[in-house]
Amino acid sequence: MSTENFWQEEDVGKRIGANLRQFRVNRGISMEALAKQIGVSKLTLIKIEHGEANPTLSVIWKIANGLNIPITTLLSIESEVSIARKKDGLKLISSDDVFIAEPLFRSHNLTELYRGYLQPGGEYVSEAHQPGVMEFITVMSGQLTVEVDGDTYHLEEYDSIRFKGDRLHKYVNPASSLTILHFVISYHNF
């Protein structure tokens, strides 16, 4: 569960441009109409859509706000449908592996999902992730105890916990049955 390489070295201007075009066309708004609506000149919009601009934060905000989408969406890329099946996952529990994590959708960089197995009585210490990372854990089967910042939280089946992942945290299975977990790691969260 490492956090590296979530950064795509890519022209952010192109991203904004492509996304702006997609959303704008998708809603059937002309550049001129949008320009007038959000108070940005048409030329500026054209240059942004072509990826030839270096827009100001205020302009970026106006566009996102005018299209009624989060500002971060304007900086993101698209993808398609894909499925992660349990039977296709990595190896199941081997007796010496206390904790196993299976990445579900590897191609996704800003939101990663994992399926995790924690042996009865087992515990696992996770390194601190990059600052700004948010972690969501859901217990799909069994029980889990989470330690974050010295505090301990006990979760039962179908419970979820959310915490900032930029600190040390420990997972413990206090029960005598296998714990099956679901992780969401979000690299762009509020």
The yes or no reply on residue 152 touching its own copies (CB under 8 A) is no
Contact in structure between 40 and 65 (CB atoms under 8 Å): no
Sign, Cα dihedral of 37, 41, 47, 53: negative
Sign, Cα dihedral of 114, 134, 13, 71: positive
The yes or no reply on residue 86 touching its own copies (CB under 8 A) is yes
Residues 111-150 that bind its own copies (CB under 8 A): 111, 113, 115, 130-132, 134, 136, 138, 140-141, 148-149
Among residues 42, 44, 108, 145, which is the contact residue for its own copies, using CB under 8 A?
A: 108
Q: What is the DSSP string of 132-163?
A: T-EEEEEEEES-EEEEETTEEEEE-TT-EEEE
The yes or no reply on residue 21 touching its own copies (CB under 8 A) is no
Contact in structure between 142 and 157 (CB atoms under 8 Å): yes
Residue 19 or 31: the one with the smaller Cβ distance to its own copies is: 19
Q: Which residues pair with 126 in a beta bridge?
A: 169
Among residues 28, 83, 91, 94, which is the contact residue for its own copies, using CB under 8 A?
A: 83
CA dihedral 91, 94, 100, 105 (to 10 degrees): 0
Among residues 14, 27, 50, 162, which is the contact residue for DNA, using CB under 7 A?
A: 50
Residue 33 or 128: the one with the smaller Cβ distance to its own copies is: 128
Longest alpha-carbon distance in the chain: 65
The yes or no reply on residue 16 touching its own copies (CB under 8 A) is yes
Among residues 8, 22, 37, 58, which is the contact residue for DNA, using CB under 7 A?
A: 58
The yes or no reply on residue 55 touching DNA (CB under 7 A) is yes
Contact in structure between 114 and 102 (CB atoms under 8 Å): yes
Distance between CA atoms of residues 59 and 144, nearest Å = 46
The yes or no reply on residue 75 touching DNA (CB under 7 A) is no
Q: How far is the CB of 30 from DNA (least distance, A)?
A: 3
Among residues 91, 95, 151, 176, which is the contact residue for its own copies, using CB under 8 A?
A: 151
Q: Which residue ranges make up the site for DNA (CB under 7 A)? A: 1-3, 25, 30-33, 39-44, 46-50, 53-56, 58-59
